[in-house]
């Protein structure tokens, strides 16, 4: 399962391939990053 966050209403949910937010119906979905992805991102930021 992937975790998603709706940037419109901040609703979080888990589903495989969401089309839109089950709460507000907007398509403003981003994938929630897991811990290792976050660490990678911090590493990239520090390099720049």
The Cα 3–Cα 43 span in angstroms is: 22
Of residues 24 and 39, the one with the C-beta less far from Zn ion = 24
Three-state SS string across 1-48, please?
CEEEEECCCCCEEEECCCCCCCCCCCCCEEECCCHHHHHHHHHHHHHC
Q: Nearer to Zn ion by C-beta: 23 or 33?
A: 23
Q: What is the closest distance, in whole angstroms, from the C-beta atom of residue 34 to Zn ion in the complex?
A: 21
Residues numbered 2 to 41 that lie near Zn ion (CB under 5 A) are 6, 8-9, 11, 21, 23-24
| Shortest Cβ 11–Zn ion spacing (Å) | 5
């Amino acid at each position: 399962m992937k975790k998603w966050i709706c940037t419109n209403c901040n609703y979080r949910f888990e589903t495989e391939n969401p089309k839109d937010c089950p709460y507000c119906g907007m398509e403003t979905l981003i994938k929630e990053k897991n811990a290792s992805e976050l660490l990678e991102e911090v590493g990239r930021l520090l390099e720049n």
